[in-house]
């Protein structure tokens, strides 16, 4: 993802102070695989804590908490604390349909110009007629900041430490001032739908506190006897009025002392402890319904949470978080260096700490996904759920030409399938709005989504033809629908998403064009995401990525039809269309071609961050070292030409690609760059720069790919293990076919693997040149030992 939707610099982010946010977005709840329900809960191991010896000075040093809907960045100040707040449905603008009314009439001419090789003219016409109105989309918003000030705190401060416990989902700040120990804890409760803050001290009556809300939004803030109250409306954008009403409440519950109010500030004096409960909601119900009552929602949530003690809220939050977080453990070894503060570790880039830092990064990504994507929430956006600006980089939207998909790369193999529920709900919405775009713009059946969308689920091309005229976004998302089935093998779920996959196929059955020179089918108009084949020109027909995604979409939809025993004739038609798609081609440099023509050598950006034409290698498995060695060699050559270092998310993609090529040393070298100070902020957020969360998620998937890969019913063990990870253990990884995989190795060699199945089936386990066929059944673990995979 890059500007506007797109390439280039981001819009200027305004890092202002703001308030809170929460919402009730309906989302499909996916069935939890039985193996995950029954999986043992291990004791939390090391590598589960970020910690710092000083407060955060900037946002990318603050620590995130979240419950899917609500997010907060905790700065850990001493005399003044800042909690920057987000709610996942608080976006600018309101419901809209961006389809350009001129698009249907202009589309044939755009295609004719492309077929004639007049690409610059085609792009100019597309920019004038095919790009949506408005041309941009709506930005995700900060609600504002909850500010806590301790006006009488002694300046004699020592023993400071702030930390984020990834296992308990709690941010804690501790310090001594004037001989008194102070502790501040912050959690985000999934059940109570509140953020809870607890301030305590080891001396009675030691807490004096002033509280206020600060926000860049046009809202009102008042103080009542025990609460800060925010009400208002979201901002306009792109010429669209703000349609969302927003409400936030922060109730203050002191133990001991007295509380007063003055203007929009609450003050507590002489308290033993203070609990603050924060709730936020908007009027959003669906992309076409903003009729909710946010005030009523937050009042009910605050009232419910206030009936419970903070310790109970924190305990329940930890239990619910651990239900997901503790399914997977990773131990790559510990050294004394791993005991240093997290920011020092990132900044030093010490090779001796690399394995332990990679394990912490892996765990942090799992934590972030749990905190930013839960059933009923919006999907994780470009920044998860955390954003401090009214104009965030690229609107903090859902960019579906790589970034949104990358957010969910770790979900299935890292045993977090529930976190996919918001993504499935997004696809359901896009199928509705995308049907309008398919009909009005293309005169086609089915549905389509281009490269970007927002809370309002716009599916027309936006930003400009060189970024937005890419109609495969919805098709790529559909591969995640299939992956969720393939990892869990739940046919009941598959039946619910099959119509979405079929609708995506219908669009392309109606819109693919025939290349007169070859008779092959391809897309037109399209682009290879965000890359230009000639200076200033991106529009083309049939870029390699399009055909690769369509091969997956057609194949997976046909396989779904067979599993469900429906639409046999339709499935055969998909197979015939798939066979006619333009094939991957090897260019003059020995590289995998990005376009139908061999333009790669002369393209303006030879080291472009996107490697779209390598989708077939990863996340797909169409290109494989064993089955398609010539294409795998061409993919390798393309990677060598592009270079290893790119933006944060693009670096993570490269690490995954090298892992698929089973080159553990190259993947590890790229991963070390990703975890260094150029691509990782002090709070371990991924640095594009600026912050984009997809790099965190892509990096975690790369670590998993280095340790275990699966395709169909084959499981590859330690396929890209680097020498730096000579000894280690991972438990709970998830292979396709509903198999849980526990691995242990030493001296770079497998010691043993234990396989647990949720569904009966036969799988082939591979380790180097060794292959072992194993029959698995629920409730019976199978152990294989040593490099020869002997069954124990």
Tell me the DSSP string of 514-558. Answer: E-TTT--EE-SSB-STT--SBTTB--BS--HHHHHHHHHHHHHHH
- Three-class secondary structure of residue 670 per DSSP: helix
DSSP tally for the chain: helices H, then strands E: 18, 30
Look at residue 14 in the predicted model and tell me its pLDDT: 29
Low-confidence ranges of the chain (pLDDT < 50): 3-46
> How many CB atoms within 10 Å of residue 336?
8
In this structure, are strands 770-776 and 80-87 parallel, antiparallel, or unpaired?
unpaired
Residue 745 vs residues 261, 335, 341, 749: alpha-carbon distances, Å: 61, 18, 28, 5
352-368: per-residue pLDDT in tens?
788 999 999 999 999 99
CA atoms within 13 A on the CB side of 656: 28
Look at residue 27 in the predicted model and tell me its pLDDT: 31
Residue pair 594/600 in contact (Cβ under 8 Å)? The answer is yes
Radius of gyration of the chain (CA): 26
> Angle 354-372/694-707 helices, nearest 10 degrees?
120
Write phi, then psi, for 682 (nearest 5 degrees): -55, -30
* 602 closest CA partner among 641, 548, 644: 641
CB neighbours of 442 closer than 8 A, spacing ≥ 6?
Answer: 104, 107, 448, 507, 510, 511
CA dihedral for 351, 46, 723, 412, sign (positive or negative): negative
Residue pair 515/541 in contact (Cβ under 8 Å)? The answer is yes
Q: Where are the beta strands (DSSP E) in 107-179?
A: 145-149, 157-165, 170-177
Integer Cα distance of 454 and 551 in angstroms: 27
262-283: per-residue pLDDT in tens?
999 999 999 999 999 999 999 9
Write phi, then psi, for 223 (nearest 5 degrees): -110, 135
Residue 84 host element (H or E) = strand 80-87
Integer Cα distance of 306 and 304 in angstroms: 5
SS3 helix, strand, coil % of the chain, rounded to 5?
Answer: 35, 25, 40
Integer Cα distance of 84 and 71 in angstroms: 8
Integer Cα distance of 196 and 304 in angstroms: 13
Q: Spell out the domains of the chain, with CATH numbers in brackets.
A: 49-92+143-311 (2.70.98.50), 103-138+355-706 (1.50.10.10), 723-791 (2.60.40.1180)
CA dihedral for 511, 512, 514, 515, sign (positive or negative): positive
CB neighbours of 711 closer than 8 A, spacing ≥ 6?
Answer: 621, 624, 736
CB neighbours of 283 closer than 8 A, spacing ≥ 6?
Answer: 243, 244, 245, 246, 290, 291, 292, 293, 294
Integer Cα distance of 2 and 467 in angstroms: 9
Look at residue 1 in the predicted model and tell me its pLDDT: 54
Q: Where are the beta strands (DSSP E) in 669-727?
A: 708-711, 714-717
CA angle 716–660–585, rounded 5-degree value? 130
Both tokens of residue 139?
């930005």
Integer Cα distance of 253 and 363 in angstroms: 34
Integer Cα distance of 392 and 244 in angstroms: 18
Q: How many residues does the chain have?
A: 792
Look at residue 19 in the predicted model and tell me its pLDDT: 29
In three state form, how does the secondary structure of 646-660 look? CCHHHHHHHHHHHHH
Look at residue 16 in the predicted model and tell me its pLDDT: 28
Tell me the DSSP string of 461-492. Answer: --S-HHHH--TTHHHHHHHHHHHHHHHH--HH
CB neighbours of 9 closer than 8 A, spacing ≥ 6?
Answer: 3
CA atoms within 13 A on the CB side of 428: 16
Strand partners of residue 526: 540
Integer Cα distance of 109 and 473 in angstroms: 23
């Amino acid at each position: 993802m890059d500007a506007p939707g797109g390439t280039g610099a981001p819009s200027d982010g305004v890092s202002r102070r703001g308030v809170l946010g929460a919402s009730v977005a309906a989302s499909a709840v996916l069935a939890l695989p039985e193996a995950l329900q029954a999986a043992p809960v291990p004791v939390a191991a090391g590598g589960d804590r970020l910690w710092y010896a000083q407060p955060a000075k900037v946002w990318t040093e603050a620590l995130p908490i979240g419950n899917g809907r609500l997010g907060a960045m905790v700065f850990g100040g001493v005399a003044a604390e800042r909690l920057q707040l987000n709610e996942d449905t608080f976006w600018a603008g309101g419901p809209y349909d961006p389809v350009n009314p001129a698009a249907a009439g202009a589309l044939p001419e755009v295609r004719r110009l492309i077929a004639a090789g007049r690409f610059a003219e085609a792009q100019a016409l597309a920019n004038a007629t095919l790009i949506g109105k408005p041309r941009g989309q709506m930005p995700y918003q900060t609600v504002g900041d909850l500010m806590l000030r301790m006006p009488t705190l002694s300046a004699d401060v020592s023993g400071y430490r702030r930390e984020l416990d990834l296992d308990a989902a709690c941010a804690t700040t501790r310090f001594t001032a004037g001989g008194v120990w102070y502790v501040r804890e912050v959690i985000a409760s999934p059940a109570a739908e509140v953020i809870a803050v607890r301030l305590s001290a080891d001396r009675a009556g030691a807490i004096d506190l002033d509280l206020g809300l600060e926000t860049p939004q046009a809202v009102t803030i008042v103080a009542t006897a025990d609460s800060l109250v925010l009400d208002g409306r979201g901002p306009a954008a792109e010429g669209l009025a703000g349609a969302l009403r927003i409400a936030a409440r922060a109730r203050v519950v002191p133990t001991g002392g007295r509380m007063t109010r003055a203007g929009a500030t609450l003050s507590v004096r002489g308290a033993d402890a203070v609990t603050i409960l924060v709730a936020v909601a908007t009027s959003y119900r669906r992309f076409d319904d903003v009729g909710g009552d946010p005030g009523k929602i937050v009042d009910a949530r605050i009232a419910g949470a206030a009936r419970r003690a903070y310790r109970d809220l924190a305990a329940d939050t930890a239990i619910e978080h651990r239900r997901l977080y503790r399914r997977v453990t990773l131990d790559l070894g510990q050294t004394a260096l791993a005991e240093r503060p997290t920011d020092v570790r990132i900044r030093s880039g010490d090779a001796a700490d690399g394995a332990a830092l990679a394990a912490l990064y892996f765990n942090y990504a799992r934590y972030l996904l749990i905190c930013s994507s839960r059933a009923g929430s919006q999907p994780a956006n470009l920044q998860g759920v955390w954003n401090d600006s009214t104009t965030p980089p690229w609107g903090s939207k859902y960019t579906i030409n790589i970034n949104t998909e990358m957010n969910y790369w770790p979900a299935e193999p890292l045993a977090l399938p529930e976190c996919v529920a918001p993504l499935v709900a997004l696809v359901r919405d896009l199928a509705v709005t995308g049907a309008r775009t398919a009909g009005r713009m293309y005169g086609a059946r089915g549905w389509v989504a281009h490269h970007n969308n927002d809370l309002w689920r716009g599916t027309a091309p936006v930003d400009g033809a060189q970024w937005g005229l890419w109609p495969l976004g919805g098709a790529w998302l559909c591969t995640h629908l299939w992956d969720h089935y393939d990892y869990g093998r739940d046919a009941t779920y598959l039946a619910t998403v099959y119509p979405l996959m079929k609708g995506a196929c219908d669009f392309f059955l109606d819109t693919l064009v025939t290349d007169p020179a070859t008779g092959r089918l391809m897309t037109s108009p399209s682009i290879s995401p965000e890359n230009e084949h000639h200076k200033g020109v991106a529009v083309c027909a049939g870029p390699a990525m399009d055909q690769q995604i369509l091969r997956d979409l057609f194949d997976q939809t046909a396989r779904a039809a067979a599993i469900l025993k429906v639409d046999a004739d339709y499935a055969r038609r998909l197979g015939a269309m798939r066979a006619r798609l333009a094939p991957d081609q090897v260019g003059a440099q020995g590289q995998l071609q990005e376009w139908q023509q061999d333009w790669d050598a002369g393209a303006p950006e030879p080291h472009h961050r996107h490697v779209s034409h390598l989708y077939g290698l990863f996340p797909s498995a169409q290109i494989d070292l064993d089955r398609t060695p010539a294409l795998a060699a061409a993919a390798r050559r393309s990677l060598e030409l592009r270079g290893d270092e790119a933006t944060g998310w693009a670096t993570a993609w490269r690490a995954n690609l090298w892992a698929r090529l089973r080159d553990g040393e190259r993947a590890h070298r790229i991963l070390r760059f990703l975890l260094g100070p150029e691509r990782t902020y002090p709070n371990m957020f991924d640095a594009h720069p600026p912050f984009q969360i997809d790099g965190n998620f892509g990096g975690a998937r790369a670590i998993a790919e280095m340790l275990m890969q699966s395709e169909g019913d084959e499981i590859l063990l330690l396929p890209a293990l680097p020498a730096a990870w000579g000894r280690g253990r991972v438990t709970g990884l998830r292979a396709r076919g509903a198999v849980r995989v526990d691995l242990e190795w030493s001296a770079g060699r497998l010691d043993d693997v234990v396989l647990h199945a949720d569904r009966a089936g036969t799988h082939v386990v591979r380790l180097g040149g060794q292959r072992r066929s194993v029959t698995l059944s629920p409730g019976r673990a199978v152990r294989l030992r040593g490099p020869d995979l002997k069954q124990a």
